[in-house]
Amino acid sequence: MPFSLLKFGLNKDYPFEQSPDLPQPSALKPTYDVVIIGGGGHGVATAYYLAKHHGITNVAVLEKAYLGGGNTARNTAVIRSNYLTPQGVRFYTESVRLFERLSNEFDFNIMYSQRGQLTLAHTDATVRAFRQRAEVNKHFGGRTELIDPVDISELVPTLNLSPAGLPVLAGLWHQDGATARHDAVAWGYAKGATQRGVELHQLTEVTGIEVEAGRVTGVQTNRGRVSAGCVVQAVAGHSAALAQLAGFQMPIVAYPLQAMVTQPVKPFLNPLVSSSALHCYVQQTSRGEIVFGGGSDPYPLYGTRSTLDLKESLMASAVEMFPFMSEMRLMRQWAGITDMTSDYSPIMGLSPIENYYVDAGWGTWGFKATPISGVTMAQLIASGGKVPELIAPFSLDRFDAFRQVNEMGATAASH
């Protein structure tokens, strides 16, 4: 043991107090150029790119609880771009590219690990849909192909090739699929943003949005009022409720999504594996724990309570895929509130209120989009409301025009 560690053991001061990663809490300033509501991955990423790419640093990120404590901490940390629509694939492919170099950019390890993601098809219809997804992905520069059960058993020898009596016919093998430590992504962005002058205010809840003549002028918080040049909302599960506070509606329904994690074991599972029919996705973290999640709850709720029904079905599906998991112990189980849109694509860009921008509708697919959402939302803000081409298909008014971007098949069953 190095003697320097012993020195810290005898010292009454914690060694890193001198140079903390995040600045100490400060008072709210009366006015900011940009107020970002929501201190999750998307909120702090937007602040980071505003400061880094556009030199806008008079920015406050307001978080009602603590940094990255909402869905950033609750997702199952899957990074992939093998979606179905050209609009979706183009967007998520860019996000995967940004993730690849994030640790270097932050000088902070986000434990990014590109191990590939495998989705299993159990019906001919799914195989056809997978062929289409593979071709769309390849067209936009992703690495995705269809593989047969022999290849699958080579990739994942421990997988049951007939889970719940549903034979695996083929797999969508997405080499770009990856995982990362989700908390670290939020921490890295927050550190980078605050070092550049952005203020992160935790335990600061927005209680009202001030709109004058169709234009946002400020927000009220539990710590007082602040004026804002523009406001961005990035609040995941509470997106529709917050929009209502601002005075408009969003076509979002909040559903809980439950997931769980086992005790850590020796590495046995390299790729991230999901089954399209069992609605179950399984991966082993770098720490050895098995994280698995399933479908959303059967009815909407603004709550994160767990239910026995979902626990049972989720564990049953995981055990069908990897039968030896029946021997393992669960360590934790939790839920997050997902803001689901009817087409399983996000809602990004302008809102009916001038200078009020939305980054919402992230349902069960928000973590993987964290970097690209930050980049594009920062572009939108810096340009004063000129919507970047990459996010134009995800506008709020697409629903009024029946121009949905349907990612249901590529999202709902496999994350």
Partner 1 sequence: MKILSCPLNGPRNIAEFIYGGQVKEMPDPAQATDKQWAHYVFYEHSHIGVVREWWMHAPSSYWFIAERHNQSDEVLRTYDPSELFGEGGPPLSMSELKPDSPEVS
Using CB under 8 A, list all residues that contact partner 1: 240-241, 243-244, 248-254, 298-303, 305, 307-309, 342, 399-402
In the complex, minimum distance from the CB of residue 137 to partner 1, in angstroms, rounded to a whole number: 28
Q: Is the dihedral of CA 340, 345, 91, 239 positive or negative?
A: negative
In the complex, minimum distance from the CB of residue 122 to partner 1, in angstroms, rounded to a whole number: 24
- Between 38 and 116, CB nearer to partner 1: 38
Give Cα separations from 316 to 163, 280, 325, 340, 364 (angstroms): 10, 10, 10, 25, 21
- Between 133 and 238, CB nearer to partner 1: 238
Tally Cβ neighbours within 10 Å of residue 82. 27
**How far apart are alpha carbons 71 and 73 in whole angstroms?**
5
In the complex, minimum distance from the CB of residue 245 to partner 1, in angstroms, rounded to a whole number: 9
b/e 317-342 (16+ beta carbons within 10 angstroms → b):
bbbbbbeebeebeeeeebbbbbbbbe
- Between 48 and 356, CB nearer to partner 1: 356
- Between 327 and 400, CB nearer to partner 1: 400
- Between 78 and 347, CB nearer to partner 1: 347
In the complex, minimum distance from the CB of residue 321 to partner 1, in angstroms, rounded to a whole number: 23
In the complex, minimum distance from the CB of residue 412 to partner 1, in angstroms, rounded to a whole number: 16
Helix, strand, or coil (residue 93)? helix
**How far apart are alpha carbons 62 and 46 in whole angstroms?**
13
- Between 188 and 393, CB nearer to partner 1: 393
In the complex, minimum distance from the CB of residue 309 to partner 1, in angstroms, rounded to a whole number: 6
Question: Residues near 122 by Cβ (< 8 Å), separated by ≥ 6?
Answer: 166, 167, 168, 169, 275, 276, 277
In the complex, minimum distance from the CB of residue 237 to partner 1, in angstroms, rounded to a whole number: 11
**How far apart are alpha carbons 73 and 95 in whole angstroms?**
19
Q: What's phi and psi for 146, nearest 5 deg?
A: -90, 130
241: left (phi > 0), else alpha (psi -120 to 50), else beta?
alpha
User: What residue type is 414 in one-letter code?
Assistant: S
Pair of tokens at residue 201: 């205010």
- Between 170 and 360, CB nearer to partner 1: 360
- Between 264 and 300, CB nearer to partner 1: 300
In the complex, minimum distance from the CB of residue 206 to partner 1, in angstroms, rounded to a whole number: 14
Tally Cβ neighbours within 10 Å of residue 401. 8
